[in-house]
Amino acid sequence: MSGKSFDTEILSVGTELLLGHVTNTDARDISEMLSKIGINVRYHTVVGDNPERLRACVEIAKSRADIIITTGGLGPTCDDLTKQILAEAFSLPLVENRAERNYAQAMLPEGCTVFHNNCGTAPGCAFEKDGKTVIMIPGPPKECRAMFTESALPYLQKLSGGQIVSHSLRIFGIGESAVDQMFRDEMDRMTNPTMAPYAKECDCLLQVTAKADTAAEAEEMIRPVMEQAAARLGEYVYGIDVECVEEAVFALMEQNGMTFAAAESCTGGEVSKRFTDIPGASAHFLGGAVTYTNEMKARLLGIDPALIASKGAVSYEVAYEMAARIREISGADIGVGVTGLAGPDGDGVHEVGTVFVSMAAKDGVWVRELHLGTKRTRSFIRRMAGNHVYDMMRRYMTGLKVTA
């Protein structure tokens, strides 16, 4: 950033983190946002609500980082511990925050930039002193994420004297190492923009980052790189800057006004649950049947018990019927089905990880047979099966071969 490197430390304050009652998602969230604008996070530190230990941690952070970002310890119940210790460490008096009348009794370091809290009560702040930048953010994850996005990121962007912009291609169907191999040579040659693949739990992404004087210029630099990479990755790209494949499916359904319904066996409601996590899901998701037993497959979906008896509940034929039947019953444009073995126990016929996923639409029914691995966890198999269901829908709605 203007040639200067900004080594950053995230210092999270909270005894609940050290007791293992909560996971430090704040550090993860902030790190992800900073890596997208090219700021190097070098350390995460967690310390309890203890003045002496916090003071010592702040001294260490001052000695090794250019930017110190604290989370937590800002509320009145913890006596505003973080603000007091940071103000002391940088020899700044705490003064009443007169500009922020709605935050009664908010004491903040003199001369700091105040960050409003739109999701809670404790304000955050930022200041620069002794060649360091200090940013203080509340601990509750929702408040932390909102304030960091709305206030801290723009503050850091301004500080850097340049704009860093980053976009990601989200990929399903080929792994991170294949993507890495595909782009290795050009990635090694690139300096600005840069490009890097990252593995996620059940898929991966390719991130392109550029730095320029303005965001518009950075966008201009990124665009051709993204376009070329997307063209090479082709049908494996399911979205740009999305979090998961169901979000991409939701966006496609918003565009084309389509609806779907789900018939689930081994995923036990997870496919429906994931889509309905998205606000506004009700415009596109009609509902589903969780048919965990053979009887329920017959009763809720009307699947012939003789078919289940002859082919088995985990079979191409039953998966086919599940998608076709839930589509018919619901009147949705698309019906999907999942039947398989999530483990840990098998059924004596198939290996754990065997799953049939299916999709029915007005012009056909498609089934994919998956072997997701006998050593995989139940939760991985269920999640991956769901990804395949959404991948089929995404392919169908974009005119690609559904079962590829």
From candidates 292, 312, 346, 400, binder to its own copies by CB under 8 A: 292
Q: Give the tokens for residue 125.
A: 């702040």
Site for its own copies in 119-148 (CB under 8 A): 142
Compute the C-alpha angle 100/88/10, nearest 5°.
80
Provide the minimum distance between the beta carbon of 198 and its own copies in the complex, in angstroms, as a whole number.
5
- Would you count residue 247 as binding its own copies (CB under 8 A)? no
The residue (of 157 and 269) whose beta carbon lies closer to its own copies is 269
User: Which window, 55-63, 69-77, 155-163, 224-232, contacts its own copies (CB under 8 A)?
Assistant: 55-63
| Binding residues among 183-222 for its own copies as defined by CB under 8 A | 198-200
Check residue 291 for interaction with its own copies (CB under 8 A): yes
Q: Does 290 bind its own copies (CB under 8 A)?
A: yes
Considering only the stretches 32-40, 125-133, 181-189, 224-232, report the one whose residues sit in contact with its own copies under the rule CB under 8 A.
32-40
- Does residue number 286 form part of the binding site for its own copies (CB under 8 A)? yes
The verdict on 174 binding its own copies (CB under 8 A) reads no
64 or 232: whose CB is closer to its own copies?
A: 64
Q: Which two tokens stand for residue 224?
A: 């051709």
Site for its own copies contains 272 (CB under 8 A): yes
- Residue from 35, 84, 160, 228 in contact with its own copies (CB under 8 A): 35
68: β partners: 9, 134
**Per-residue contact flags (x/-) with its own copies for residues 342 to 381, judged by CB under 8 A:** -xxx-------------------------------xxx--
Q: Is residue 75 classed exposed, middle or buried when 0-12, 13-18 and 19+ CB atoms within 10 A define those classes?
A: middle
Looking from the CA of 311 toward its CB, the CA atoms found within 13 Å total 19
Of 50-58, 101-109, 126-134, 212-220, which segment contacts its own copies by CB under 8 A? 50-58
Locate 48 and state its tokens.
């309890």
What is residue 353's three-state secondary structure?
Answer: coil
Q: What is the DSSP letter of 238?
A: E
43 binds its own copies (CB under 8 A): yes
Minimum CB distance to its own copies smaller for 344 or for 399: 344
Q: Of these, 85, 195, 329, 367, which contacts its own copies (CB under 8 A)?
A: 329
Choices 102-110, 177-185, 266-274, 389-397; region in contact with its own copies by CB under 8 A? 266-274
Please state the closest distance from residue 113 (CB atom) to its own copies, in A: 24
Sign, CA torsion 279/377/290/332: positive
If one asks whether residue 118 binds its own copies (CB under 8 A), the answer comes out as: no
- Shortest CB 12 distance to its own copies, Å: 8
**DSSP per-residue string spanning 102-127:** TSTT-EEETTPEEE--SSSS--EEEE
Alpha carbon distance 219, 217 (integer Å): 5
Whose structure tokens read 């065997």? 354
CB-based burial, 197-235: b 16+ in 10 Å, e otherwise: beeeebbbbbbbbbbbeeeeebeebbeebbeebeeebee
Tokens of 225: 């790189």
DSSP string, 8-30: EEEEEE-HHHHTTSS--HHHHHH
Number of residues that bind its own copies (CB under 8 A): 75
In the bound state with its own copies, the residue whose beta carbon lies nearer, of 8 and 151, is: 8
Shortest Cβ 330–its own copies spacing (Å): 6
- Closest of 202, 159, 181, 122 to residue 379, by C-alpha: 202
Using the minimum distance from each CB to its own copies, give the nearer residue, 30 or 392. 30
Tokens of 239: 């979205």
Answer for which of 6, 37, 44, 159 binds its own copies (CB under 8 A) is: 44
Reported in sequence order, the residue ranges of 179-266 that DSSP labels E, i.e. its strands, are 194-199, 204-212, 237-240, 260-264
Q: Phi and psi for 96 in degrees, rounded to 5? A: -70, 140
Q: Distances in Å between the alpha carbon of 300 and those of 96, 322, 326, 340, 372?
A: 64, 10, 9, 18, 28
Residue whose entry in the numeric block shows the structure tokens 């036990």: 268
Given the complex with its own copies, which of 279 and 348 has the nearer CB atom? 279
- Tell me the window of 110-118, 210-218, 242-250, 295-303 that interacts with its own copies (CB under 8 A): 295-303
C-alpha to C-alpha distance for 243 and 291, rounded to whole angstroms: 28
**Residue 53 is a binding residue for its own copies (CB under 8 A):** yes
Residue 233 interacts with its own copies (CB under 8 A): yes or no: no
Binder among 51, 64, 110, 177 for its own copies (CB under 8 A) = 64
Q: Does 92 contact its own copies by CB under 8 A?
A: no
